[in-house]
Structure 1
Amino acid sequence: MSRLSQREDAMAQSVGEALITLLERRGVDVVFGIPGVHTVEMYRGLDASTIRHITPRHELSAGFMADGYARATGRPGVCLLITGPGVTNAITAMAQARADSVPMLVISGVNRAETFGQEEGYLHELPDQGALMRQVAILSQTLFAPEDLPKVVDRAFAAMWAGRPGPVHIEVPLDVMHAPVALPEAGLVEVPKQAAGADAVAGAAEVLAQAKRPLILAGGGAVGAAEALVGLAEALDAPVVNTTNGRGILGGHPLRVPASPSSAPIRQMMAEADVILAVGTQFGPTDYDMYGDGGMPDLAHVIRIDCDAVQVTRGLIPDQAIIADAGCAVAALASALPGPLADRGGVARAAAARQAAFDALDLRHQSYVGVMDTIRAALPGARIVGDSTQVIYAGNMYADIDQPRGWFNAATGYGALGYAAPAAIGAALGDPQTPVVCLTGDGGLQFSIAELGSAVDEGVPVIFLVWNNNGYQEIEQYMIDKVITPVGVTPSAPDFVAVAQAYGMAGEALDGLDGLSDALRRAQAAGGPYLIDLRVD
């Protein structure tokens, strides 16, 4: 009998132990956290479980690691955090996950319920931790009674999948954490994927079948529907424009358009389309008006697919809406289309849009796109995880990524710095078969530079590529453009290679882009974490 079975046969466990058992039942295989006196009872359960525990250097990184894990795998990233500073440190990561619809489960301790709001000086005390967390979590719940544990966990997983995904929080008071509880043998409460309504699908299929110049916009919510979306795009002969979080959908396909809807040529393409099918995209400004110029065109007819009815009321109001899981809706649409449709010139339109979007970039940004091309050529199939830095901004405008989940960063939505290093580690732990390149700036890396040590501890073969331009050069240029004397944009950087080596990580420095391909291949051949300090002007 396995240790898990032995525990389940026992009369009772502590709530902390039982919580880990329920996570195991849910298929959780990795958790991120730093133990403390408010969470150690859960660690009693971890010791006997199959779940791998990863210790970052900071709770902010625990959240970003969980985010990267979730984006790479499509499964929730899970954090175990102490009350007070543990959860407040992770709030930034939760806000990023909420902005980008990333499923994340944050489980924390909290002081005994009778102390709530008393402010008598208990360790890690907050006036109302749950209220604070409800500002960033799509659901925050307190476990007051041990016997409620299974339904609280079921509710947490349902909240992450029933509508728009995002961060969910469970807090367990210290006295409840240690209380005994007997878990029922009943199976898990599973939330099925929301099917598309027949009338909504039929109406949308009729409009799409009659379209002469259809266009598909694919956002982050379409990543799980990538395979079905290929078939629908081919049936409609419709180009597919990827937002930042949808980049890589239709990777390598002649109908792909790996460019931002903020690009003038892509906006023109949208304006010329007679029907637009928008799948899992928020129509938020960081995707559709990246530079705040207000140039979003009027659109002829928009059909939105979204898993959240409320979300359809935000941003662009569609002419038609399908409220359903993206994969279910896309498959249903493809089945509802009448026989072979006429050639709509989709491949030629997509090719012209790709070229026009690239040509619209200035020479500096085209050179940055070349960096992404160099990475892809040197490391085929690699996933690029980015921070808010010059080359990532350029890639969000145009980057021809070859796979879904192959490109993500924190330069959209909430826009947090320090994301790339821990998120890349989380992605590598979640999907160890896919090479990972962490593309971060010298400023952004210093937010989470200690996570180089976490990469060494876990032996993850992440390649840390530091875009070292001696400060916050993107902000410096913005200030110059606004006729503001640059102030505060030149923080000094350490010798990154020396820091990596101090943690036991191999690394090298490059002056300029010459030799980058060979350096990337050396990094991959090293078989472990590796840092390349790419010094650029």
Structure 2
Amino acid sequence: MADPDWPIGPLAVAAQPDDGEISVTQYEPQERTGGEALVEQLIVEGVTDIFGIPGVQLDWAVEAIRERGDRLRFVVPRHEQATSYMADGYARTTGKEAVCMVVPGPGMLNALSGISTAYACNARVLFLVGQIPSDTIGKGYGMLHELPDQSGMLKKLVKWHAIAEKAEDFPALVNEAFAQLRSGRPRPVAIELPTDLLQARAVSALLPPAPYAPTKPDTGLIGEAAALLANARFPVIQSGGGVLASDGGEALRALAERLQAPVVMSENGRGTLDDRHPLALTALGGRSVLPHADVVLVAGSRFLDGHAHPINASAGTKYIYLNVEPNDWEAPRLPGLSILGDARLGLEALLAALPADLDRADVSEKVALVKDWIKLQTGAIQPQTDFVAALRGTMADDDILVSELTQVGYFSNIGYPVHSARAFITPGYQGTLGYGFNTALGAAHGNPGKRVVSLNGDGGFSWGLQELATAARENYDLSVVVFVDGYYGNVRRIQNRVFGKEIGVKLTNPDFELLAKAYGLHTQAVDSPEGLRDALQAAKDRGGPALIQVAVGVMPSPWALIHPFVPSMVPVPPNPLGEPEAA
């Protein structure tokens, strides 16, 4: 019988033991190859999909995957970079752990960009990396795919790392990897797989699946924080990616409503509250409410802008930091009450600790003033506003948009309405140009009942366009939108603004329609928001993958709305506690 204390929600899906398949006898020691032990423990942990590319150092692991094709799907894209991006997209949109696997040396190096994005965006990814034979590591013999200190490189980009030293090590290493993924801050972990140990036979015992073990907050600190919030004149909640990663959206909503506190969602935290909720605001709205807050609860957020400036409110504001990462409440942030703990558990505890007789005035009309101001500001950015409206108008609340570093993508960070958790994906602070299409493939793989839209510019899309083959082979429910202007548009704008000249920004593009047809995909070329809306609807009605090419010209910069420290005119936000000022 399943443990009744297992968590509820997406996190439970991957971690919950499968009563129909896992038996006590499966945990008894038996002789296996290292590859078989690795794969069997992955199955025990709940893994159903592995994104990887086979190669000679991985042969015995891949053979073990083939033998367990009844339980595991081996998804093979066209480039190692796509393995880690697909795992990242799968993990962030499903809440489950994801697994990717590549050969050592160049295979690992190709995949590290996706691992760095997963690290920045709190993704639960297990990175399996091949290794040269164990008795040659560090010897400098020039073995195939050998790197000087591969382990040292890998350790810098993951939360936890291990390398197998004996064939019987694999079950314990996999189990510990999942223990790390299911506790503390969710970030990628890695295991190196020496090729000789994958082939070697040894007696090994599988282990019960690692439990989900969120960090419980200190009850005394929770009591102090609850008292601050209960007595606040105008509390505000800053919600970050940690709330999403902990499935804390419902707890956040309940606490915000009880406190009548506006919720400012960071880029990584969007979707923790439906944008239609009367208390929900983007970071742009935060410019209006944070300066007037007397208490700010920062939940699962780094609380810094992209230039390491703290997101300060006003003199005398009291701060409460709730985070599983102590670094995220240290300087340059202003000091406050710091609570180490899982965001969902902390929010639930704060709600329970509030006085039973707490009665707060409804602030929805005040927040509505801010929402109106946001609409006025974003509505002036054209044609991005209309393109985003075309995207949103064809998508269900829980359909998934994977944004990119392109003009409509930048604007989407503040202008695209998000109505569901895990339905809006960005590269976070990594700002990884070209990540989007590959990541969208992983999102589509993990969410077969939802339509995924991949938003691209012609520059970034060209870094992974070979994965049209993967979209076609897997027949994903995926609309690939490519905005085509023939330039690295943002770089071009900056060069001309700063230097008055440009270099290295002109693109030579393929015929994207012809390319899509070569892979057997449905495709359409449009040049307006209305055309995009109709093409998206047709693709969704038809199902399967489609590529939509959108011809565009130079677009106005949205950066004054996205980032308050750019050298341009910053719009003046309204005072939510009084009359709005002129925009």
One fold, TM greater than 0.5? yes
Provide the aligned C-alpha RMSD in A. Answer: 2.2
Q: CA deviation at 1:385?
A: 0.3
Gap change, CA 1:374 and 1:434, over 3 Å in 2: same
**Does structure 1 retain, via aligned residues, the 8 Å contact 2:51–2:83?**
yes
Q: CA deviation at 1:174?
A: 1.4
Amino acid at match of 1:245: N
Within 5 Å, give how 1:158-197 maps onto structure 2. Answer: 158-184=179-205, 186-197=207-218
Q: CA deviation at 1:200?
A: 1.0
**Does structure 2 retain, via aligned residues, the 8 Å contact 1:258–1:398?**
no
Of 242, 264, 289 in structure 1, the residue corresponding to residue 265 of structure 2 is: 242
Paired residue for 1:60?
Answer: 81
Distance between the aligned counterparts of 2:482 and 2:111, measured in 1?
A: 24
TM-score, length-normalised on structure 2? 0.86
3-state SS of the aligned residue for 1:343?
A: coil
Paired residue for 1:200?
Answer: 221
Paired residue for 1:530?
Answer: 546
How many positions carry a matched residue from both structures? 528
Paired residue for 1:103?
Answer: 124
Paired residue for 2:112?
Answer: 91
3-state SS of the aligned residue for 1:425?
A: helix
Amino acid at match of 1:400: P
Amino acid at match of 1:163: G
**Does structure 1 retain, via aligned residues, the 8 Å contact 2:379–2:385?**
no
Distance between the aligned counterparts of 1:272 and 1:189, measured in 2?
A: 45
Amino acid at match of 1:233: A
Paired residue for 2:42?
Answer: 23
Of 147, 153, 156 in structure 1, the residue corresponding to residue 177 of structure 2 is: 156
Deviations 1:72-128 (A, max 9, x none): 011122111101111010111111111122121110110122212222221001111
Distance between the aligned counterparts of 2:146 and 2:336, measured in 1?
A: 49
Paired residue for 1:303?
Answer: 320
Distance between the aligned counterparts of 1:174 and 1:247, measured in 2?
A: 42
**Does structure 2 retain, via aligned residues, the 8 Å contact 1:16–1:177?**
yes
Amino acid at match of 1:325: D
Within 5 Å, give how 1:6-405 maps onto structure 2. Answer: 11-49=30-68, 50-184=71-205, 186-223=207-244, 224-260=247-283, 263=284, 266-286=286-306, 296-298=312-314, 300-313=317-330, 315-361=332-378, 363-364=380-381, 367-381=383-397, 382-405=399-422
Does residue 467 (structure 1) correspond to residue 483 (structure 2)? The answer is yes
Amino acid at match of 1:89: N
Q: CA deviation at 1:315?
A: 4.9
3-state SS of the aligned residue for 1:444?
A: helix
Identity of aligned residues (%): 31
Paired residue for 1:430?
Answer: 446
Distance between the aligned counterparts of 1:27 and 1:317, measured in 2?
A: 42
Gap change, CA 1:75 and 1:44, over 3 Å in 2: same
Distance between the aligned counterparts of 2:332 and 2:453, measured in 1?
A: 33
Of 479, 484, 502 in structure 1, the residue corresponding to residue 518 of structure 2 is: 502
Paired residue for 1:446?
Answer: 462
Distance between the aligned counterparts of 2:416 and 2:393, measured in 1?
A: 13
Distance between the aligned counterparts of 2:545 and 2:201, measured in 1?
A: 42
Q: CA deviation at 1:340?
A: 4.4
3-state SS of the aligned residue for 1:311?
A: helix
**Does structure 2 retain, via aligned residues, the 8 Å contact 1:282–1:315?**
no
Distance between the aligned counterparts of 2:21 and 2:286, measured in 1?
A: 56
Amino acid at match of 1:35: P
Distance between the aligned counterparts of 1:509 and 1:302, measured in 2?
A: 50
Gaps of 5+ in 1: none
**Does structure 1 retain, via aligned residues, the 8 Å contact 2:298–2:322?**
yes
Distance between the aligned counterparts of 2:50 and 2:214, measured in 1?
A: 25
Amino acid at match of 1:23: L
Distance between the aligned counterparts of 2:309 and 2:530, measured in 1?
A: 35
Distance between the aligned counterparts of 1:15 and 1:295, measured in 2?
A: 49
**Does structure 2 retain, via aligned residues, the 8 Å contact 1:4–1:21?**
no
Distance between the aligned counterparts of 1:178 and 1:129, measured in 2?
A: 21
Distance between the aligned counterparts of 1:254 and 1:70, measured in 2?
A: 26
Gap change, CA 1:7 and 1:58, over 3 Å in 2: farther
Gap change, CA 1:294 and 1:191, over 3 Å in 2: closer
3-state SS of the aligned residue for 2:301?
A: coil
Q: CA deviation at 1:459?
A: 1.0
Q: CA deviation at 1:9?
A: 7.2
3-state SS of the aligned residue for 1:450?
A: helix
Paired residue for 1:512?
Answer: 528
Distance between the aligned counterparts of 2:392 and 2:230, measured in 1?
A: 36
Distance between the aligned counterparts of 2:351 and 2:76, measured in 1?
A: 45
**Does structure 2 retain, via aligned residues, the 8 Å contact 1:283–1:315?**
no
TM-score, length-normalised on structure 1? 0.93
Deviations 1:445-495 (A, max 9, x none): 000001111011111111001121221111111112213411111112111
3-state SS of the aligned residue for 1:101?
A: coil
**Does structure 1 retain, via aligned residues, the 8 Å contact 2:182–2:211?**
no
Distance between the aligned counterparts of 2:223 and 2:491, measured in 1?
A: 48
**Does structure 1 retain, via aligned residues, the 8 Å contact 2:126–2:189?**
yes
